[in-house]
Amino acid sequence: MKTVLLLLAAGSGSRMGLKQNKVFLSLGGKSVLQRSMEAFVPFADEIIVLHRPGEEEAAGAETEKVPFSGVLRLVPGGADRQDSVENGLSRSGCRPEDLILIHDSARCLVSPGLIRRVRDAALEKGASIPGLPATNTIKVCREDQVLQTPDRSLLYEIQTPQACRADWLLQAFARARGDGFRGTDDASLLEHAGFPVAVVRGERNNIKLTTGEDIRMAESILGLSRLPRVGHGYDVHRFAEDRKLILCGVEIPWEKGLLGHSDADVAVHALMDAMLGAAGLGDIGLHFPDTDPRYEGISSLLLLKETVRLLQANGYELLNADLTIAAQKPKLRPYIARMTETLAAALGVDPSRLNVKATTTEGLGFEGRMEGISAQAVCLILPVTAEGTPAAP
Ligand code: MG
């Protein structure tokens, strides 16, 4: 009898707002995938990593870092978890008497004790999964309406690894395929096929990395927390005839606009400089030179979105920003709410993270003489990975 691990690494980072697959995020110098694989080395004879199609090389680079003397295969995952597991089963050399462990690589804090508990229970009873008794009241709802409240004492939050005899699992997948049944975990296929599944005690620290908050929780469990960073931005544009006045992405009716290579949105430029400065990434001129024809007349909101992507690629997200626009005229107060909402949408954050305000300069200086508008911004950014700087693509 051998033990085969199917390690699911085909997820995305979309719920973290990441471009890269979250399994490649670095925590304390090791990727999520590497940490997950390492945890199972003492338990597995064969490891099959289900990677996202097109990521074989990247996944291979991580698995190579793990000393493992058993059989290692890299297999493309499917459209969802069930397809991925099925791909893995079909590519494994498993025999009916073998034991299959299935684990989400996003649960990279799994402990040896938990793996052992699940494995031993499956060896004894055929199939087992780790679960935590629900501590919150859970309600069944549809379209914002509560339908019912199930008895909490019967509810468990289920984790991975899930473990099962290979013959049971193969039968359960064949049955699901025949019936067109789709499950959200492997145990639901076993249940569907009528096999008993034992529940063993899960662990609170065995979190699934899904959001940026989970990453910070994982860092604090591992003792790796990093500090937030501050940034400041300042920009000025002069007034010109026959230009639209765009501030924070909002067109303001006014007799003049601001002169610039892009749409000359001075407020967005100040915010971008603050964000780039906080991340230690230089300034707006470095990333979006005004000699580049691609940026001629472009909406600065697009450049702001690109700045968010640069921050994400370097492991940061915006916590909050405060902007001040200095203009003698026009009166900006009526537009503040729309400006805030427009910026929040471009940044992909809740408007509560932003504050936009306007001031005159009491007639003093170039703003007071109505030669132009200036803007200043400060922001705080938070690290979303322990190592901070995966290379920007
Ligand atoms: Mg500018």
Place of tokens 């008895």: 151
Place of tokens 């110098």: 29
Q: How far away, in angstroms, is 319 Cα from ligand 1 center?
A: 23
β pairing state of 99-104 and 30-31 = unpaired
Q: How far away, in angstroms, is 374 Cα from ligand 1 center?
A: 9
Same domain, 207 and 177: yes
Provide mean pLDDT across the span 143-160. 95
Torsion, Cα of 390, 13, 219, 136 (10° steps): 170
What lies within 8 Å, CB to CB, of 157 at 6+ separation is: 131, 132, 134, 202
What lies within 8 Å, CB to CB, of 142 at 6+ separation is: none
Whether 221 is in a domain gets the answer no
Q: How far away, in angstroms, is 382 Cα from ligand 1 center?
A: 25
β pairing state of 316-326 and 372-383 = antiparallel
Of 211, 243, 272, the residue at which a domain comes to its end is: 211
Of 211, 242, 264, the residue at which a domain comes to its end is: 211
Q: How far away, in angstroms, is 390 Cα from ligand 1 center?
A: 28
* Res 384: pLDDT: 76
- The CA–CA distances, whole Å, from 363 to 98, 327, 329, 360 equal 82, 9, 10, 7
Please count the other Cβ atoms lying within 10 Å of the Cβ belonging to residue 284.
25
Same domain, 53 and 175: yes
Q: How confident is the model at residue 387 (pLDDT cuts 50, 70, 90)?
A: very low
Whether 43 is in a domain gets the answer yes
Same domain, 185 and 255: no
Same domain, 44 and 152: yes
Q: Which range marks the domain in which residue 269 is found?
A: 229-383
Of 211, 240, 265, the residue at which a domain comes to its end is: 211
- The CA–CA distances, whole Å, from 141 to 158, 271, 389 equal 20, 40, 41
**How many distinct structural domains can be found in the chain?**
2
* Res 381: pLDDT: 95
Whether 349 is in a domain gets the answer yes
Residues lining ion ligand 1 (Cβ < 5 A) are 235, 269
* Res 393: pLDDT: 27
Same domain, 194 and 254: no
Provide mean pLDDT across the span 139-166. 95
**Residue type at 95 in one-letter notation:** R
Same domain, 324 and 194: no
Same domain, 244 and 198: no
Whether 222 is in a domain gets the answer no
What is the C-alpha to C-alpha distance for residues 232 and 316, in angstroms, rounded to an integer? Answer: 16
Determine contact, residues 25/54, Cβ cutoff 8 Å.
Answer: no
Whether 388 is in a domain gets the answer no
Q: What is the CATH number of the domain that holds 90?
A: 3.90.550.10
pTM of structure: 0.61
Q: How far away, in angstroms, is 347 Cα from ligand 1 center?
A: 18
Q: How far away, in angstroms, is 267 Cα from ligand 1 center?
A: 8
* Res 13: pLDDT: 54
Whether 22 is in a domain gets the answer yes
Same domain, 194 and 235: no
Determine contact, residues 248/340, Cβ cutoff 8 Å.
Answer: yes
Q: How far away, in angstroms, is 317 Cα from ligand 1 center?
A: 22
Please indicate whether residue 10 or residue 239 has the higher confidence score (pLDDT): 239
| Predicted confidence (pLDDT) at residue 391 exceeds the cutoff of 50 | no
Q: How confident is the model at residue 89 (pLDDT cuts 50, 70, 90)?
A: very high
Same domain, 237 and 200: no
Same domain, 299 and 361: yes
What lies within 8 Å, CB to CB, of 216 at 6+ separation is: 225, 382, 384
Same domain, 203 and 255: no
Same domain, 162 and 253: no
Q: What is the CATH number of the domain that holds 372?
A: 3.30.1330.50
Q: How far away, in angstroms, is 292 Cα from ligand 1 center?
A: 14
What is the C-alpha to C-alpha distance for residues 149 and 387, in angstroms, rounded to an integer? Answer: 42
* Res 212: pLDDT: 78
Determine contact, residues 288/282, Cβ cutoff 8 Å.
Answer: no
